[in-house]
Amino acid sequence: MPSPSLPTSPVADPGAVVAGDRWRITVLTEGLVRLEYAEDGVFEDRASTFALHRRQPVPDFRVVDQGGHLEVVTSRLRLTYDKGPFTTSGLSVAVLGAVTNYHSVWRYGQDTPDRNLGGTVRTLDEADGAIPLEPGVVGRWGYAVLDDSRSFLLTDDGWVAPREGGRTDLYVFAYGHDHAEAVRALYAVSGPQPVLPRWALGNWWSRYHPYTADEYAALLDRFAASGIPFSVAVLDMDWHVTDVDPAISSGWTGYSWNRDLFPDPGAFLDDLHARGLRVTLNVHPADGVGPHEDVYEEMCAALGLDPATREPVAFDVTDAAFLTAYFDVLHRRLEAEGVDFWWLDWQQGAHSRIAGIDPLWMLNHFHFLDAARDGRRPLTFSRYAGPGSHRYPVGFSGDTVVSWASLRFQPYVTATAANIGYGWWSHDVGGHMFGAKDDELATRWVQLGVFSPVLRLHSSNNPFMTKEPWAYAPEHAAVQTEFLRLRHRLVPYLHTMNHRAARDGVPLVTPMYHRWSRHTEAYDVPGQVAFGSELLVAAVTTPRDRAAAVAPVRAWLPDGVWVDVLTGLVYDGGRQLVLHRDLASVPVLAPAGALVPLDAAEVPADDPVEPTWLEVLVVVGADGAFTMVEDDGTGDGRDESRVARTPLRWDQAAGVLTVGPATGATGFLPAARTWTATFLSVADDVAPVATVEGAAVEPVVARTAEGHLRVTVHDVPVGAVLRVGLGAAPTLRPNDVAGRLHRLLDAAQAGYELKRRVLEVLTSDRPLHVRLSHLAALDAPPVLRAAAEEIVLARASA
C-alpha cells in the first residue's frame, strides 16, 4: 500500500464522553456533538472517511441526569435525550443564543433540508444551471447534521474496512450564526486543507483534443508570444493509446503513450518543464490494464498473474496488492519521465467490489498519499467524494453545459462548498460541452475563473470548442488576455490565502454570510463571494444590456467605504445595490484599510515563483495589516523553517505604509526586491516620500488613468524596512462623476440627444433629488438609467 498515511487520532478523550448501554454522546467541541446508537452496544472508534480526529481538547460542559432523561449543556447548545432509541420526541439539540428559540432546535428524524445552507456536489456532469447540493455543516437556523453512519473506516494499518450496518453515527453542528467556526470544527475533526503548491494557483491549460507534441509546443509558443501565462499543462486522454480492440478495453483507460502523437514523451515533458509548466495526465482507471499496454507483463508479474492468458488485469481498488502495483508499475514510471500529478477521471459511480467502499474516495485518498512520498507536496485532481474530500485537492467539478445558466450557478456552488470545507474547486472555465459559441459568455467565464480557487480552461472533443483567447473577437481576446495575466499577478495574494486556508481553516472563497452572518443581506447575494481576506467579488453572469453596453449584477456592500480595484470607483457601503460593468470589468471591491500584494510584472512568467518586483494595492481610510506568506516549495508547506513572512502595515493616522522586514526562511527569496505601493483612488493632496531602513530614498511616482497613485522604490533588501508616506490621514478622491457618466453614455447604444440630456441633467448643480427625478422623466433605457444612477449615488458626496 502507498505510504505515508494520514495522521489520525480517532478515539475521543474519555472525559468528553457520556454513554449508556446502547448510546454514546461525545462532546467534541462546544458546538459539535457526536451521537451514536447501537442495539448491540458496540460503538465505532476507528477513523472514518470523514472523522480522523475525534480526540479533541475536552470542552466545558455539564451533564444533568434526571433519571428518565438527561441534558448535556455547553456554552453553545443544550442536548436533551430520553436514553432510548433515537426518536424525534426523545432526542433534540437546542442552539443557545441562536436565531430564534422556536426554530433553532434540531430534532432527530426531522427532515429540514431547507434549513441547511448547502455544501457541494460530486459532479456537475451535464449540468445546465443549478442542481441540488449535498448538505454542509452550517444552517440558516443555526444547526446542521452530518450523517456519518454509512461512511467506511480507516484501519490502524492504513487500509480501509466497511461499516457494520444498523448503527447510527451523527455529528450535530450547533454553532448558531457562527458559520465560519462550524467549518473550523469540521476541519478539527476531519483534518485541515493541505497547502497547495504555489504553481497550482496559476492558469491551467486543458482541452480534450488529440494534440501532437509539435502542436502542443506551437500552442505554447503562441501563448508566450501573446503574453498569456500558464503554469499547468493538462493532457486529456489522448496522451495514451485509445484505439483498442473493444474486446480488450473501451480505450478510455490507458497507460501507454500514443507514440503517433508523442514519439518522444520524455523530451516532450522536458520541454514543458523548461517552459515553467507542470504536467498532469488524465487517467480513467476503470478498465484495468489490458494486454496491449507497455507494462502489461510487468503488472502481471507484480500480481502473480500469467501474461500468456492475455486477459486484462481487472481494476480493483479494494485489493491492496492491486493498488500497490497500480502505483508502483503504472504511475511511478510515468512520474519518473516527468508527470507531476494525476487527473483522476472516475465516472463509474460509488460502488466497488466491497459494499460500502467508494472507489472515487479510495483513488483520491491513496493517490494523495502516494503523491506525498519522499517529502513531496502532494496534489491530486479529481471529483468530490463526500465529507472529508477537502483533504485531497484539487477538485474537478465535471462536464458542464456551455450556457449562461451554468455560469450563473458556478459562483454559488463554489462558495457553498466552503460550508463543507471544500475550498479548492476547479471548474471547466467556459463550460465543457453542448451550447453555442458566445464570445461574451466565454469572457465572463474567464473573469469568474480568475476569482475562483483554481483557474482551468477546458472544453470537449470538438474542433470548434476551444478556449484560446484569439479564438474570439478582438475585444474579447484582449479582455481575456488581460484577466489571464491578472490571475498570475494575484499569486502572491492567493498563496498567502492558500496558507491561511491550511492554518486558520478559512477557504479562499466563502459565502458572504461566513463573515457577515447576522446580516440578512449576506444570504441574498448568491453570486457574490469573499475572495480571501481583502476582496469581495460579484461575478457578472448575465449578458450586457444592448442599449447600456453594461451588465447588471446585484450586490451587497457591508458598512464602510469600498473601492473597486479594477475601476477605482468609490462606494459608501451598508446597502444593497445593483452594480453595472462593461466587458472589461467585474466588481472587485476592497474596503478601507485593505492591502493586496501582487506580482508587479505586466506580463508575469509561466512559473509563478517569488517575484523580484511586487506591487501592493492600498486603500486608505482605515488602518490595515496583511502578512504575505511564501514558502520554499518543499514539504507539506506547514514546516515553519521553510516559510517566509513579509508584514505589510498601513497606519491611517500617520499615512505610512510599512513593508517588511521579511522573517523566517528568507534564503529562497530574492536578495532585494522592487516594491510599488499603489494607493487606489487616493486624493491628489498627498506628497509621497520613502525611506529604507530610515534613510530617505527617491521614489518613482506616477498617476494611472484610473486615478491611482503609484509609488515605486527599487532594490529594497528583503531584510530591510521600507516605509512609504503620503502625509497624515490621507483621503480618497471624489469620484469623477462627470467623466464616468460621459464614458458610460458614450458607449451606450442610445440616441445622441438623449445621451446629451442625461449628461446635462446629472452633472448640473441642482439638488440630487431634482436631478434623479428629472432623469426618471427622460425615458432612458432602464439599465442605462440604473447604471448612471449607480455612478451618481456611489458616494453621498455626489
Q: In the structure, what pLDDT confidence band is assigned to residue 674 with cuts at 50, 70 and 90?
A: very high
pLDDT of residue 776: 95
Q: How far apart are CA 480 and CA 503, in angstroms?
A: 33
pLDDT above 60 for 443 = yes
Closest CA to 53 of 416, 391, 283, 329: 391
pLDDT in tens, 245-277: 998 889 999 999 999 999 999 999 999 999 999
Question: Percent of the chain beyond pLDDT 70?
Answer: 98
pLDDT of residue 408: 98
The side-by-side arrangement of strands in the sheet containing 203-207 is 341-344, 278-283, 232-235, 203-207, 454-457, 425-429, 395-396
Q: How far apart are CA 97 and CA 180, in angstroms?
A: 16
Mean pLDDT within 445-466 = 97
Q: Where are the beta strands (DSSP E) in 59-211?
A: 62-65, 70-73, 77-81, 91-95, 105-107, 144-147, 153-154, 160-161, 168-173, 203-207
Work out the number of other CB atoms within 10 angstroms of the CB of residue 66.
Answer: 7
* CATH code of the domain occupying 14-104+141-190: 2.60.40.1760
Q: Bridge partners of 70?
A: 65, 81
pLDDT in tens, 730-771: 999 999 999 999 999 999 999 999 999 999 999 999 999 999
pLDDT of residue 748: 98
pLDDT of residue 706: 85
pLDDT in tens, 520-555: 999 999 999 999 999 999 999 999 999 999 999 999
Packed helices 752-762 and 768-776: angle between N→C axes, nearest 10 degrees: 160
Mean of the per-residue pLDDT values of the chain: 96
Cβ–Cβ under 8 Å, residues 254 and 236: no
β-pairing verdict for 203-207 and 232-235: parallel
pLDDT above 80 for 303 = yes
Instruction: Give whole-number Cα distances, 288 to 101, 244, 283, 315, 752, in Å.
Output: 56, 13, 11, 4, 68
Mean pLDDT within 358-364 = 96
Rounded (5°) CA angle 104-107-113? 75
Cell of 215: 502542436
Mean pLDDT within 58-66 = 96
pLDDT of residue 102: 63
Q: How far apart are CA 151 and CA 161, in angstroms?
A: 10
Q: How far apart are CA 388 and CA 50, in angstroms?
A: 5
User: Of all helices (H) and strands (E), which one includes residue 476?
Assistant: helix 474-489
pLDDT of residue 100: 56
pLDDT of residue 347: 82
Place of cell 486543507: 193
Core vs surface per residue 700-713: b (16+ CB within 10 A) or e? eeeeeeebbbbbbb
Cβ–Cβ under 8 Å, residues 409 and 127: yes
Cβ–Cβ under 8 Å, residues 576 and 556: yes
Q: In the structure, what pLDDT confidence band is assigned to residue 63 with cuts at 50, 70 and 90?
A: very high
Quick one: DSSP state of residue 549?
A: S
CATH superfamily of 610-725: Golgi alpha-mannosidase II (2.60.40.1180)
Mean pLDDT within 622-651 = 96
Q: Is 109 left (phi over 0), alpha (psi -120 to 50) or beta?
A: left
Q: How far apart are CA 406 and CA 71, in angstroms?
A: 47
Place of cell 444590456: 545
pLDDT in tens, 590-628: 999 999 999 999 999 999 999 999 999 999 999 999 999
Q: How far apart are CA 712 and CA 657, in angstroms?
A: 12
Would you give the end-to-end CA distance of the chain in angstroms?
67
Domain 203-210+235-474 has CATH 3.20.20.80: yes
pLDDT in tens, 464-500: 999 999 999 999 999 999 999 999 999 999 999 999 9
pLDDT in tens, 558-570: 999 999 999 999 9
Cell of 84: 432510548
Instruction: Give whole-number Cα distances, 141 to 115, 367, 701, in Å.
Output: 6, 38, 52
Q: In the structure, what pLDDT confidence band is assigned to residue 575 with cuts at 50, 70 and 90?
A: very high
User: Of all helices (H) and strands (E), which one includes residue 555?
Assistant: strand 551-557
**Which residues, including other chains, have CB under 8 Å from residue 23's CB and lie 6 or more apart?**
35, 36, 37, 38, 81, 83, 86
pLDDT in tens, 678-722: 999 999 999 999 999 999 999 999 999 888 999 999 999 999 999
pLDDT of residue 218: 98
pLDDT above 90 for 3 = no
pLDDT of residue 97: 82
Instruction: Give whole-number Cα distances, 427 to 406, 413, 531, in Å.
Output: 11, 10, 16
Mean pLDDT within 169-180 = 97
pLDDT in tens, 777-797: 999 999 999 999 999 999 986
What type of residue sits at position 652? Q
Q: In the structure, what pLDDT confidence band is assigned to residue 236 with cuts at 50, 70 and 90?
A: very high
Core vs surface per residue 496-519: b (16+ CB within 10 A) or e? bbbbbbbeebbbbbbbbbbbbbeb
Place of cell 494595492: 617
Cell of 721: 524596512
pLDDT above 90 for 137 = yes
Q: In the structure, what pLDDT confidence band is assigned to residue 165 with cuts at 50, 70 and 90?
A: confident
Burial class for 73, CB neighbours closer than 10 Å (0-12, 13-18, 19+): middle
pLDDT above 70 for 101 = no
Compute the radius of gyration of the chain from its Cα atoms: 28
pLDDT of residue 4: 63
